[in-house]
Amino acid sequence: MSVLSFLFLGGVAAYFKIHSLRLETDQEYEVSQDIDNSTVEEKIECLQADSIDFIYYEAIPANWGANNKVGLYIYAENKQFFEKADELVNSNGGDWGYVLLPYNVKDYDQSKWQAVFERLNDRHLIPVVQLWGLDKESYPQDTREAARFLNSFAWPIRYKYISVYNEPNSADFWFAPPDPAEYARVLDFTIRTFKEENPDFFVMNGAFNVSAPTNSSYIDSFVFMRRMNQEIGGIFEKLDGWASHPYPQPNFAGSPDAKGRWSIRAYEAELEYLKNTIGVTKTLPVFITETGWAHAEGTNYNSTYLPVDTVSDYFVRAFNEVWLKDDRVRAVMPFTVRYGAPHDHFSWLNDDYVPYKHFDAVKQIKKVKGEPPILKSSRINVGGCEL
């Protein structure tokens, strides 16, 4: 008999597989004449035993020390993306790097996502799952179903990273016009719902377009954040981490040495605003869920962007001189593994899945062998007795 089940121990899921081992009834035993039948039956019963195989997460805090920050933005539908992400983020001494995975809150395809989590475990990739597909009419039920669905899988590490939608201060990714009060309510509900499902869900905001000014399509992200806090007081204190999109502007071509809201250090300005203007006292680790330079090379050459040689140099400098040195940054997941035109200028692989130069340049960066709270396995023997 074999039974697979799971329960939570101290908030940590433990998954059990029970094996029952029984003697075959037609097996022969040599029994001396002075042992009666009841004694034989006792000996056979003693040889009956159960064992329980189980997997569990190590009890390591969310800010564990040895952390491989290097990551990549990928998509669940393509197996090759996991292979290329592993090749990139776990290279040159690295292990347990990160990937950003978009997830539609109405997608409950069990076989698809089971395969995704198996690949993540096999490839030692830590997922940050970014929600998308909000429906204003059904989002409470969709959120509850999504939390239950995502919690049904064995994640590679104890902490289940969730980013609540994408650039909500932009009409391109939210609704027109953007509504900070509405997003604050959605964020608050999503945090509560996921935490009720499993306290190991680690919930972050949806990263803002931090460089966009207020106009018909955008609301300045700092204004947006202030209005969110006015709607739900202390909303940012409820977060576990801070998702950020620090793109090098203007035109995705800025210097890696630049500072401020138009730079790869934009998260610094966001954290400062949270602390000094909104009054957030909580220390929020930063997860860069998008960033990167656009390269001229693609399906069509775009001379307004930087050549890939320059992009390669900028990425190496950004990692080595900024992100890897900053203890506030936990993960950096540049956009994107591969995308169709016109966004192919952000791709790390071309249409034939051949890496661009910056892929190989970042691959050569010295990385950390990450030591997150991963799944462990063990066995308990139950039953049986001394003969």
Q: Domain ranges in the chain?
A: 2-58+375-383, 71-363
Give the model's pLDDT for residue 23.
33
The CATH topology of domain 71-363 is TIM Barrel (3.20.20)
CA atoms in the 13 A half-sphere facing the CB of 157: 26
- Specify the DSSP element, H or E, that contains 229: helix 221-231
Q: Residue for token digits 């998509």?
A: 75
Give the pairing of strands 125-132 and 97-104: parallel
Decide if 245 contacts 207 (C-beta within 8 A).
yes
Decide if 218 contacts 169 (C-beta within 8 A).
yes
Cβ density class 308-337: b for 16+ within 10 Å, e for less: bebbbbbbbebbeebbbeeeebbbbbbbbb
| Cα gap 204→191, rounded to integer Å | 8
For the entire predicted model, the pTM comes to 0.88
pLDDT in tens, the chain (387 residues): 333 334 444 344 455 444 433 333 334 333 334 444 455 455 555 555 577 888 889 899 999 999 999 999 999 999 999 999 999 999 999 999 999 999 999 999 999 999 999 999 999 999 999 999 999 999 999 999 999 999 999 999 999 999 999 999 999 999 889 999 999 999 999 999 999 999 999 999 999 999 999 999 999 999 999 999 999 999 999 999 999 999 999 999 999 999 999 999 999 999 999 999 999 999 999 999 999 999 999 999 999 999 999 999 999 999 999 999 999 999 999 999 999 999 999 999 999 999 999 999 999 999 999 999 998 888 888 766 654
Cα–Cα distances (Å) from 202 to 151, 229, 319, in that order, read 12, 20, 24
Give the model's pLDDT for residue 381.
80
Q: Name the token pair of 69.
A: 């920050």
Three-state secondary-structure class, residue 104: strand
